[in-house]
Amino acid sequence: MAELAARESRIAVRRARVAARLLAANSAKKDHRKSRAEIEKDAGVGDRQLSMSLHCLSEIRKKLKDEVKSLRDGADLREYEHRMEETSKRGALEKRMKLEVEESSKHNEEIAEKWKVVLDCAVPQEMATQMAEQKKACDAVLASKDAVINEMVAELKFKDEEYQVAIEQQAKDFNDLCTIMARQVTMLTDVHRKELTDIEFAFLEQRAALLISNKEEMSKLIQDLQDMEQKYQEDMMAKKEEFAKALEDIRDADAEDYNNLKVRLETDMQTLEQHHATMQANELFPAVYQFNAEKLEYNHLVLLERDRENYVTANQQKRKLNKQRDTLQLLRGRYGDLEKRFNTDNSKMGHSFAQITKLLQDLQSKEKGLLKSHATTRRNFFLMHQRGLSVLVSKILQADKDIHENQLGWHWQAPSDYAFIDLGSNEILDDGPKKEPPVLDDLANTMSQEKYASLLGTLCDEAFFLVDEKTRESLPMLLPAHQDWVQCVSILHTLGIKNGASLEKLLIALTGQESELKDNDLDKYLSIYLHDESERVRNQGGAVENIVHDPKAPPGTMLDKEGIKKLKWENYWKSFTTVINSKTLRVWGHLEQGLLAYNKLLKDRVYLTSEVISLRQQNQALREALQHCFKAKK
């Protein structure tokens, strides 16, 4: 009951959720329809007709697509039913064939078992009866197989007929589809033409309505303009009358002021005349009058001269000010032109700088990628050739060993060159300072002498700490006979010994012209030797190790870093050519000549042997012929 209640509650919750979702969808559709109706209401006649035409065309296209889709769906349904029927028939046929195989195999086993009984029969009549039964069983098996074959043949014929019917039905469907599509194209053309005409008429109607409304609006605007002009004229006339009245009032006030001033001046004039008459009655008046007149005239002349000078000075200053203003305007124009040109150049140069900077960054990134790719390619190329050469050198050494031991019967001794002991080294690929191959022919020959055996043994035992880490890691992979040699070579390389002369100096420094070396004094003598060598190198001018001479260059020519690198490459690859010395090559040449002569001798012997066998066969044939002739005569 609890489970039933929980199930009912889940169903109720699900139904409520579905109802809420449907309600939200309906409200959204209503809002969409409302907004669409408002948009159509706000739009014009042409826009509404265009929307209606597009909607009508979309509905017609949908109906036409549904019509074509129904035809296609019918064809797909028939094909699906045909395939399902084919699948069922194929399954029944496979089941029938499987059953026939099982029955035939069972009958064949029974027939095979009965053959043993038939063969065991001693009575001929019983054997004949058994064989008749065996024949009937075989005929029954063959009849069942023939029945299956006939069924398959009938099924194939039915398939052919069905295929013909399907072809005809497909042709009919195709013709119907073409007819429907042609009719739809014609109908769509007519509908498009009709809708286009309606849209054109709607837009023409909308244009006429817009012209009428615009004309009415223009008429209204013109009327408003005329009214405003009439109002402006009336306002202007009122203002003119007001201004004329104010001007008349001002004129009257000025005339009254003029009359008052005239009366006042005439009164002052009469007063001055009276005063002048009084002054003339005085005896000193002429002299004072003359003096004042001359003084006033002089002052007037001075003022006139000053006014003239001030006028000239003012004109000069005005001309100078105008000239300065013209110069300032010219300079301002030039400054503006220069500022514009410099701003343009600055923007161009800034853009060019950004482009060049971006291009430089791209080139730097590409250069880093190319350098990395070239370094990887060079390393892979070097390692590939190095492995190939190591394999080839191993084959050559094995061939040399076979020639010495098998062909010549000599004792073969492996070469002791360091370049062929550590073929996996790729130090020559590094860009930094590289180590020179520590063992050269001169040093190897010097180390093989007996007087250095004690020195080398002591160094191997007491100075093992001078062996580099890479050599220590490679020692377990070497043969026991090579481990001491490689260890000695690494110690000598660490000490800077590169030739026989340096090894002789080391022997003298450690033994003090004595033939035996004491183990407890080894560290002291090594320290003294290294100190003397460092002083010698410092006195000779510093880094002599970086000075490398090209053997092909003129004397005194020094190589740069690239030349040193190239020379090291050449020396490294040339070292592979010295794995077989000239003496061994001469032995190989003489051995080849001898083997070729022996081979030629063997070929001649084979040819002569074949001739002898042919002559023997001919002699045997002649003997048989002679014997036959003798027998015939007898």
The DSSP annotation for 385-423 comes to HHHHHHHHHHHHHHHHHHIIIIII-PPP-----GGGT-T
Check residue 613 and give its pLDDT. 92
| Span 456-468, average pLDDT | 74
236-291 per-position pLDDT tens digit: 888 888 888 988 898 898 889 888 888 888 888 888 788 777 766 666 666 777 77
Is pLDDT above 60 for 520? Answer: no
φ, ψ for residue 530, nearest 5 deg: -65, -35
97 and 16 share one domain: no
What is the pLDDT confidence band of residue 565, given thresholds at 50, 70 and 90? low
Number of domains in the chain: 5
Tell whether 429 is covered by a domain.
no
Q: Average pLDDT over the chain, rounded to whole?
A: 76
Enumerate the β-bridge partners of residue 549. 558
Residue 258, classed as helix, strand or coil, is helix
Please answer whether residues 495 and 530 qualify as being in contact, where contact means their C-beta atoms are separated by less than 8 angstroms. yes
Q: Which residue has the higher pLDDT, 442 or 593?
A: 593
Of 579, 604, 621, the last residue of a domain is 579
Place of tokens 């042409």: 46
560 and 443 share one domain: yes
Tokens of 634: 């007898």
507 and 626 share one domain: no
Tell whether 103 is covered by a domain.
yes
Place of tokens 């001693």: 122
89 and 185 share one domain: yes
Place of tokens 């095979």: 112
φ, ψ for residue 549, nearest 5 deg: -105, 135
Give just the sign of the alpha carbon dihedral 293, 295, 296, 300. Answer: positive
The Cα–Cα gap between 613 and 616 comes to 5
Helix H segments across 43-123?
45-120
Q: Cβ contacts of residue 444 below 8 Å, gap of 6+?
A: 416, 417
Check residue 31 and give its pLDDT. 58
Residue range(s) defining the domain that contains residue 542 = 436-579
Tell whether 426 is covered by a domain.
no
In this structure, which amino acid lies at residue 22?
A: L
Tell whether 263 is covered by a domain.
no
519 and 549 share one domain: yes
| Span 285-310, average pLDDT | 83
Tell whether 237 is covered by a domain.
no
451 and 339 share one domain: no
| Cβ atoms within 10 Å of 491's Cβ, excluding its own | 22
358 and 501 share one domain: no
Q: Which residue has the higher pLDDT, 68 or 207?
A: 207
Is pLDDT above 60 for 184? Answer: yes
Check residue 73 and give its pLDDT. 80
Radius of gyration, alpha carbons of the chain: 65
Tell whether 337 is covered by a domain.
yes
The Cα–Cα gap between 39 and 290 comes to 106
592 and 553 share one domain: no
Q: Could you tell me what percent of the chain has a pLDDT over 70?
A: 78
Of 200, 232, 264, the last residue of a domain is 232
Check residue 7 and give its pLDDT. 65
Is pLDDT above 70 for 477? Answer: no
Is pLDDT above 70 for 438? Answer: no
31 and 58 share one domain: no
Please answer whether residues 141 and 129 qualify as being in contact, where contact means their C-beta atoms are separated by less than 8 angstroms. no
Q: Which residue has the higher pLDDT, 265 or 407?
A: 265
What is the pLDDT confidence band of residue 518, given thresholds at 50, 70 and 90? low
83 and 154 share one domain: yes
Check residue 420 and give its pLDDT. 45
Tell whether 254 is covered by a domain.
no
Q: Which residue has the higher pLDDT, 397 or 601?
A: 601
Check residue 608 and give its pLDDT. 92
The Cα–Cα gap between 329 and 14 comes to 86
488 and 585 share one domain: no
Is pLDDT above 80 for 211? Answer: yes
Of 579, 594, 622, the last residue of a domain is 579
Tell whether 367 is covered by a domain.
yes
483 and 571 share one domain: yes
Q: Which residue has the higher pLDDT, 122 or 540?
A: 122
Question: What is the distance, to the nearest Å, from the Cα of residue 416 to the centroid of all Cα atoms in its chain?
Answer: 51
The Cα–Cα gap between 112 and 95 comes to 25
Q: Which of 156, 153, 166, 149 has its CA nearest to residue 83? A: 166
